[in-house]
Amino acid sequence: MLKQLEEIKSSALQELGSINNIKQLEAWQVRYLGKKSQLTKILRSLATLPLDERKTVGAYANEVKVNLENSLEQKEQVLREAELAASAKREAIDITLPSRPFPVGHLHP
């Protein structure tokens, strides 16, 4: 079971490195940290293990989960900053351009 946890961790981190947008990140979160993920299934099956094995597997499973959650937060922050920078670059206002003339006053009837 420890080998299975190590495989989940390595594949999740490898896949996380190739994510480029927020939607892919949300799909990754569902796949690896969601209710039906392999990691969650392992955590739920801890009750069926013997006590000595439960301690080691449970501790490592929680360590993997915390590691994946921290990696998710870091990647989300990086993607949000990149998205913000891209939108700021797209919507930037050039202050060196002349402004539009503002109509002053109106015609008297």
The verdict on residue 73 lying in a domain is yes
Contact at 8 Å (CB) between 28 and 12?
Answer: yes
User: So what's the pLDDT on residue 73?
Assistant: 96
pLDDT over threshold 80, residue 109: no
Dihedral angle sign, alpha carbons of residues 100, 105, 107, 109: positive
Q: Name the residue range of residue 8's domain.
A: 2-80
Q: What is the pTM of this model?
A: 0.77
The verdict on residue 87 lying in a domain is no
Domain count along the chain: 1
The verdict on residue 101 lying in a domain is no
Which stretches within the chain are classed as H helix?
2-17, 22-33, 38-44, 51-90
